[in-house]
Amino acid sequence: MANSASRPPVDPGHRFDSDSIHRARAAANLLACFRRAGKARPTDAPTIGVAPYLYFLVSGIFHYLGPAFATLLFAVIAPLGVAWLRITVAAIIFAAWRRPWRKLGGMTRRDWQLTGALGLTLSAMNICFYLAIARLPLATVGAIEFLGPIAVAATGLRDRRNWLALLIAAVGVYLLTGVRFSGERLGYLFAFANCALFMLYLVLGHRAAADGSAAGIDRVAAAMVVAAIAATPLCLGPSLPALASPILILAGVGVAVSSSVIPYVTDQLAMARLPRNSFALMLALLPAMAAVIGVLILGQKLWPSEFSGIAMIAAGVALHRPARPVAGPAT
């Protein structure tokens, strides 16, 4: 009785029976779980969103402005000279913008190897591309070039839906480009070499973007300097006629900005956010974009098979489902 008398009186309006205590503890645990989930959210795998597709759209538009400037240069400069102007001017712009020499002290052996491999790839790829389009129609070179992204897109596919998407897009590209295998054999040699190098660029470009788009752009800037150094012994001589003409120099700047600077930057922004096979499949949109630009700006006409090709490319890209977002920062 003494013990019961010493207990404080219980307010009848606040009865804390065992069930109430258990419910309160469960609510507290649930609240703690929500708090932990909210704090952990920044480290979760990022969603893809719309941004990488917009970056790719910008890259594709400028990808086809470059050949317009190159047409002016081809009239008076050999293809190797055009390649040197494109590579060197792009290297100068990247160097002035990103100042890649500031990163030299902190570069690891892997960074050096990646930068060197990417630079040599960009140099050889641009040279082979111009040597190919000097001998073959641009549509033929573009169709052959797309064989590389098909191979890259096929790697990592694990379900029937994405395989079907790739097949539909590939058939669409064939219908749209209407590739005809006629022309110089040497042109095909350069076209297939460009295809292989473009596939290597996709692999190395994604490795450069693995730590985020900002780090990737810095690596591309350093790689362009390597590309310019590698191309100079072979390509400087044919470019000399352009150095005496301000108009041709401006055309070279236009080629570099449209074909290298803007596309390579937007590629890194997209690669940092898209899986490699998804980005490779997106490249199927490039010939479709070229056809649409030709209709809207140049007044060109499309055959029914070409309309079918555009529709199949769009359907293939829409059907594709990325396996997972790219891990790591995407700044």
Q: What is the pLDDT of residues 59-117, one digit of tens each?
A: 877 876 777 677 678 888 999 999 999 999 999 999 999 999 998 888 999 999 999 99
| Side-chain half-sphere exposure of 322, counting CA atoms within 13 A | 20
What is the rounded distance in angstroms from the CA atom of residue 38 to the CA atom of residue 35? Answer: 5
Residue 155: pLDDT over 70: yes
Residue 157: pLDDT over 80: no
Return the biggest CA–CA distance within the chain: 113
User: Contact, 275 vs 57, CB < 8 A?
Assistant: no
Q: What is the pLDDT of residues 253-273, one digit of tens each?
A: 989 999 999 999 999 999 998
Q: 327 pLDDT band (50/70/90 cuts)?
A: very low
Q: What is the pLDDT of residues 33-56, one digit of tens each?
A: 445 444 433 333 344 566 787 888
pLDDT at 49: 63
Kindly report the average pLDDT of the chain as a whole number.
79
The residue behind tokens 């002035």 is 96
Q: What is the pLDDT of residues 174-228, one digit of tens each?
A: 787 766 666 678 988 998 999 999 999 999 999 999 999 899 999 999 999 999 9
pLDDT at 75: 84
Residue 284: pLDDT over 90: no
User: Contact, 283 vs 221, CB < 8 A?
Assistant: no
pLDDT at 13: 47
pTM above 0.95, yes or no: no
DSSP string, 62-104: HHTTHHHHHHHHHTTS-HHHHHHHHHHHHHHHHHHHH-GGGGG
How distant, in Å, are the alpha carbons of 108, 140, 146, 165, 245 from that of 313?
A: 41, 17, 12, 9, 42
